[in-house]
Structure 1
């Protein structure tokens, strides 16, 4: 009151900026904490002999992608003049990002906060890609691919949709990244699985598959819960404002989509297999979250449930499909993040409502809400172009790495496990000691 009386207090716009900054930073921290979920998810879904490697390389690559995204990735995503023709394809500017120390009166939020938020998204997309590398890739391959993915591959796609690029001009609707984050990471994983080939013992000569079980289903369950909670930062944080509380609606539809995915996956696995598969249920929850990520701000509650239900069934069918064509995907990255990412992006073309489109200010209403087929075409185009670019660019980079230094560890190293062969120690040292004592 004293400040207000003197006229020296913060303005309303400064107070709004402060509230926005607080929410965006909290959301960014939630998204960054999702890396804990990815560590537990990949560790629990793979074998004990690789646990320490999974945890360590995740921390290392998050650190490395932070540096390359700061140096060039952020500039390729958000740099440049919006009026420049080149800006439709690539951002150019803000390299080695050096932001203002504080925000200015009239800003919606400080650019420092926005950078942290966007960096966390880039790190998530990269962690999705690691699903295709699991249990058989050299640590050097992780290093090189992180440099290229974080500096070029992800930023280019993010610029096209979020940075004012040509798909943004077309009205592509991807609120929090079903395509930008999840499909991009999944297509990179797909390229890796093709070039690395399946793990030893995954497939028999007749083409039949052997189940290589993860070593800790409690880890994977806890991972899904951590990711689920982090997703509220992912989706609701993408409102990048407190404003009228619209971020609450986004959180609401996010929860419905996740719930639909978990329930549908359990029921379909129960129906087909005769037993309710816990792993499929967990992947169903994640698939529902991935699918609702693009549409959480554009659809009615009932549609959010439908999007999640379809994603839960889709992830189950896609896991069987990829195994049938002999693609070894240890954490189901292509099914959870790829197939569900495609479905979630396309879903806007059907379910986006006119009122919510006007609220967000991107694109047009979907087919079921009087918008015709235009938005569905734009969504389809964004999936094809972004997915195709992510796959092609990742394949070329990894193919060069394979030819120059090699992608995969030796057969002996893979059998021993990456903990020992790549790092010289074991993620569960007590278990190693017991093995040595027994063998003696």
Structure 2
């Protein structure tokens, strides 16, 4: 028993490290797809999210997300207290019977890595024009309170879990939770200067480092081995292997189909659309990676890739400005992946209507809560930088730094 626990725990720790490494991927992707003058600002937000996110998850988040709902509870809101106490044996040692797959400490750390991801999704969508202070306040509230409450509805044994809603690794619980908030934020924030011309037609604002964005996507793909593979919650050889196969096939299918559909629609081979197609495939398979056949994974990823192309165009058409395509990737493909469980799952207990109900419930809590947070911030401290700050860059005005300073030899 102890040897199996050790093996499982080591696998979970490796997966925890891989999910942590995904924050490097998010950072690279976001700065690569945006302009040089805002690089420090984006990196600062990403570092803030992971550091503060972990502290908040320790203080309140973990026990909000896993409150231990009583049998007669509504399964909507519970709280097991501030901080957490690991279960101990009578002798005072860590109780290894807590979970056959991993220790209590590993459980906290693995789940804590997921918590920060939701705010990272919002970071990319609001890039290049949001006040750093307002974003930091939003992150504290959304990651510290809203995400764990929403997570408790399924992963914490809440009412959606009791109804049979299924989300293996977070197409909805992580990606759509971030995607809904990104949608609200972009709507209230407004578009970047120059994104739409006088006739309202979208104008391309190229990112300053596409090679870095490409590296970011490949790092994210690698990190998904931990994101989905770790969600098995053990080192079970059959289930972890299947999960990684479906994850990779969906990613590959998503990328290829996005590039192909984009070529048919726009007659060019757009690398950024290729990259977002890969991410769309990954997000799409995340809800059911452990209950899909390889063939179903390819279909799910392919549909996600096609959705990316049309979703990006739709977001532009309704005059919303999302610099990195976060709404298309995380919200649209997150919804699709969650509904796909009700269509393709090998488990007959998973139904489309329950999956749809889960999507609606998460839309409700995320849209309402994020709107309240952003609206209050907008009416009090403001959420958008001045026109001068936006044109000259947030790095200089909010951080007093340059990501790429000119180095000259000291001439004497």
Partner of 1:154: 147
The one of 3, 7, 14 equivalent to 1:26 is 14
User: Which TM-score applies when normalising by structure 2?
Assistant: 0.95
Q: In structure 2, do the counterparts of structure 1 residues 385 and 270 end up closer, same or farther at CA, with 3 Å as the change threshold?
A: same
Q: In structure 2, do the counterparts of structure 1 residues 106 and 425 end up closer, same or farther at CA, with 3 Å as the change threshold?
A: closer
C-alpha displacement of 1:66: 1.1
Gaps of 5+ in 2: 88-92
Partner of 2:367: 391
C-alpha displacement of 1:262: 0.5
Cα distance in structure 2, aligned partners of 1:251 and 1:244: 11
CA RMSD of aligned residues (A): 1.5
Gaps of 5+ in 1: 1-12, 358-363, 366-374, 435-440
C-alpha displacement of 1:82: 3.8
Residue 128 of structure 2 is aligned to residue 135 of structure 1: yes
Count of residues paired in the alignment? 403
C-alpha displacement of 1:106: 6.3
- 1:59-208 map, 5 Å: 59-86=47-74, 88-100=75-87, 102-105=94-97, 107-108=99-100, 109-208=102-201
Cα distance in structure 1, aligned partners of 2:385 and 2:83: 34
1:257-296: per-residue Cα shift (whole Å, max 9, x none)?
A: 1011000011011111111111100000000000000011
- 1:371-382 map, 5 Å: 375-382=351-358
- 1:296-335 map, 5 Å: 296-335=289-328
Cα distance in structure 2, aligned partners of 1:294 and 1:105: 28
Cα distance in structure 2, aligned partners of 1:190 and 1:33: 26
C-alpha displacement of 1:244: 4.4
Partner of 2:377: 401
Partner of 1:213: 206
C-alpha displacement of 1:391: 1.5
1:385-409: per-residue Cα shift (whole Å, max 9, x none)?
A: 1022111110110110111111011
Residue 222 of structure 2 is aligned to residue 229 of structure 1: yes
Cα distance in structure 2, aligned partners of 1:329 and 1:34: 20
Question: What is the DSSP-based 3-state SS (H/G/I as helix, E as strand, rest coil) of the residue aligned with 2:199?
Answer: coil
The one of 47, 50, 55 equivalent to 2:43 is 55
Compare the two structures and name the one with the higher helix fraction.
1
Question: What is the DSSP-based 3-state SS (H/G/I as helix, E as strand, rest coil) of the residue aligned with 1:262?
Answer: helix
Residue 271 of structure 2 is aligned to residue 278 of structure 1: yes
1:176-227: per-residue Cα shift (whole Å, max 9, x none)?
A: 0000000000111111101110011111221111111111110110000000
Cα distance in structure 2, aligned partners of 1:383 and 1:243: 29
C-alpha displacement of 1:91: 2.6
C-alpha displacement of 1:107: 3.2
Instruction: Work out which of the two has the higher radius of gyration on C-alpha atoms and give 1 or 2.
Output: 1
Question: What is the DSSP-based 3-state SS (H/G/I as helix, E as strand, rest coil) of the residue aligned with 1:247?
Answer: helix
Q: In structure 2, do the counterparts of structure 1 residues 393 and 106 end up closer, same or farther at CA, with 3 Å as the change threshold?
A: closer
C-alpha displacement of 1:247: 1.0
Moved more, 158-167 or 88-97: 88-97
1:222-243: per-residue Cα shift (whole Å, max 9, x none)?
A: 0000000000100010011113
